[in-house]
Amino acid sequence: MIKKKELNQQDKETWENYIKDPSDIFDKEKVTSKNKQNRYRYKFDLHGFSLDEANKKVKSIIEYCVKNKFKELLLITGKGIHSTNEVDTYVSKDLGKLKYSVPEFIKTNSDLNKFIISINDAENKDGGAGAIIIKLKNL
């Protein structure tokens, strides 16, 4: 076992002075919490919801996000690949899919539209064509 070297007086003084004013230490926690607050995102997966259920859920989610000051909302809608809309001639091939109907519902609902800045397809890392990003206003 190696015996530790005793600190000399100069090293002790340097250390004690540093402890009194550690202003040059980078506070990682402060920056991380600041970034989380600025870009806070709420995420919800709508797989398995019918159109009517999804619209009701989206309305309650947007109201919750606005109340809790979220900046954006990521909705996973899926691409509609497994949709059976093509079989039913009375159902729109596009608006029968959550990917298209949810944004249309938000745009046409005046209560929800006042909270929205933009609605866009998500980036590939967030779900791509199977998800939408809704940017929310600060109220």
pLDDT score, position 106? 92
Query: Domain containing 123 — which CATH number?
Result: 3.30.1370.110
Total tally of structural domains belonging to the chain: 1
Q: Residue 27: inside a domain, yes or no?
A: no
pLDDT score, position 37? 45
Say which residue the tokens 């600190």 belong to. 7
Kindly provide the b/e burial profile for residues 101-122, where b requires at least 16 CB atoms within 10 angstroms of the residue's own CB. Answer: bbbebbeeeeebeebbeebebb
pLDDT score, position 40? 83
pLDDT score, position 64? 92
Q: Which residues of the chain have pLDDT under 50?
A: 33-38, 87-92, 94
Q: Residue 36: inside a domain, yes or no?
A: no
Q: Residue 45: inside a domain, yes or no?
A: yes
Phi, psi of 42 (to 5 degrees): -100, 135
Q: Residue 87: inside a domain, yes or no?
A: yes
Q: Residue 46: inside a domain, yes or no?
A: yes
pLDDT score, position 38? 45
- Domain holding 121, by residue range, is 41-136
Q: Residue 24: inside a domain, yes or no?
A: no
Q: Residue 108: inside a domain, yes or no?
A: yes
